[in-house]
Structure 1
Amino acid sequence: MNTATAAAAPQQAPPPAPRPGLRERKKQRTRDALLRAALELFTARGYEQTTVDDIARAVGVSQRTFFRYFPGKEEVAFAMQDMVEAHFMTSLRARPAHEPPLEALRRAVLDCWDSVREAVASIAPLELYLRMFRTIESTPVLLATHLRRSMEKEEHIAAVLAEREGLDVDADPRPRLVVAAFSGVLRVTGRLWSTGEDLTLDGLRSLTVRYLDQVGPALAGTWRTPNDPNRTDAPAEHTDA
């Protein structure tokens, strides 16, 4: 077949991806059930008061079965966050190349929240995921782990931004600085949201957008009012001799 004929021939759609077999679906259901039970127990009873045995018993499986799916309590506590962060990284890599780095991060996190609802809901109610977010913020051992994991994630994001912009992340400080500012906003808004009254995903999204939109003016602008006597750049008052 010559090139012209090939171009005119109808393109065949790629074959559909094979559906997971019965065994794989059963394993996924078991993992999802363990994850959902863990979140329910962590948010109702407390993370430190919940054991692996409690989680396994809630699903009707053995402790040994639990460890087939999760190395321990910490991993199951952050499993949903791992999934959300994976969606965020996918969104970030898909952002148009012309977007400035901070705008790409902003758009990626908004795209992530738009797309992740269905993925979260396939495992556990969205409300339960949000309650677990608050549990992490209010549990010292989980918060410490969350901050450590956030630092590791920041390095990953900075490397992706540097590659996106054609920079050497170890030679140019800008990727790490932008990611530090972005991650700081997420930490501040997460803490404020978890102690506020609007405990919905839309509430978290709205608060985050409002704070992200203030990053540029906050870093570059002057905060004091023109009449503030403490302003070092305020013009001196003119007095007659």
Structure 2
Amino acid sequence: MSPEDEARIGLRERKKHETRVALSQATIRLCVQRGWDNVTVEDIAVAANVSVRTFRNYFSGKAEAIAAGHLERMLRIADSLRAQPVGEPLWDSIARAVQAQFVPQGENGAESARDQRWTEGLRLMLAEPALQGEVVKASAAADEELAKAIAERTGTDVDRDVYPKLVAAVVGAGSATAVQHCLLADPPVPLGPVLREVFGRIAAGLPNP
């Protein structure tokens, strides 16, 4: 294969990835803003500036498109972990990678009325039964990829050693616990400090409070 062919394939794959991400983001945004039952595939296609057929080429429905957003974020965490300094303590690197993907830069801890509406919409969307199975599948795929990055970082074998799989599962559980805690908190609490607490406690070995 010539360099030109490789470049064309690389560009094509990048465009497919960008379309997949755009469709997932549009689905999440519309379902949070309007409610699960008030969003159609046609609405999502219009928001993403593609055809319904294109949406169907990537996802079977809204649930799969939303769950893909979760998988995409966890894959970015795996990539970020690979880029962290090798000599840094593992859990410091993991905490930084997770924080970067879950908390927007510049978060100041305050929550506006718009943020509260978004949180409420997100809470309702995540409670949809149709979404639960897809999230479980996405989480399993995310754990697998994250375990590979952890194995590379720690010099372990993802197929023979339990350690990278265990750490990946803990990262997924810790992130999910922090998000759920913030979604249910009354009054609302910002996600950044909760994530720092969660991964600080994990790094310390989860001692008794």
TM-score range, shorter chain: 0.5 to 0.7
Q: Which residue of 2 aligns with 1:189?
A: 178
Tell me, yes or no, if the aligned pair for 1:43 and 1:132 is still in contact at 8 Å.
Answer: yes
Residues 69, 172 of structure 1: CA spacing in aligned structure 2 closer, same or farther, 3 A cutoff? closer
* Bigger Rg over Cα: 1
Distance 1:40 1:104 in 2: 30
Letter in 1 for 2:132: L
**What is the alpha-carbon distance in structure 2 between the residues aligned to residue 183 and residue 97 of structure 1?**
22
Residue of structure 2 equivalent to 1:215: 202
Q: 1:62 to 1:173 in 2, by over 3 A?
A: closer
TM-score, with structure 2 as normaliser: 0.67
Does the 8 Å CA contact 1:169/1:175 hold for their aligned counterparts?
Answer: yes
Contact 1:39-1:129 within 8 A present in 2 as well: no
For 2:70 and 2:192, the matched residues in 1 are separated by 16
Are residues 1:41 and 2:23 paired? no
Q: How many residues align?
A: 186
Q: Taking every aligned residue pair, what percent have the same amino acid on both sides?
A: 28
Residue 104 (structure 1) shift: 2.0
Q: Which amino acid aligns with 1:188?
A: T
User: Which structure has the higher relative contact order (CA within 8 Å, separation 6+)?
Assistant: 2
2:41 is matched with 52
Tell me, what secondary structure is at the counterpart of 1:97? coil
Structure 2 gap ranges (5+) = 1-13, 107-113
* Greater share of residues in helix: 2
Residue 213 of structure 1: SS of its match in structure 2?
helix
- The residue identity in structure 1 corresponding to 2:130 is V
Contact 1:42–1:50, Cα closer than 8 Å, also in 2:
yes
Q: Matches of 2:124 and 2:102 in 1, distance apart?
A: 20
Q: Is the 8 A contact 1:102 1:182 kept in 2?
A: no
Residue 193 (structure 2) pairs with residue 206 (structure 1):
yes
Task: Quote the Cα distance in structure 2 between the aligned partners of 1:99 and 1:207.
Answer: 22
3-state SS in 2 of match to 1:99: coil
| TM-score normalised over the length of structure 1 | 0.60
Pairwise mapping of residues 10-29 of structure 1 onto structure 2 (< 5 A)? Answer: none
Superposition map of 1:218-237 within 5 A: 219=206, 221=207, 223=208
Instruction: Check 1:78–1:158 CA distance in 2 against 1; reply closer, same or farther (3 A cut).
Output: same
Structural mapping, 1:77-156, within 5 Å = 77-113=66-102, 133-156=122-145
Report if aligned partners of 1:189, 1:207 keep a CA contact under 8 Å in 2.
yes
Q: In structure 1, what residue type is equivalent to 2:28?
A: L
Partner Cα distance (2:83, 2:121) in 1: 28
Q: Distance in 1 between matches of 2:35 and 2:102?
A: 26
RMSD: 3.8
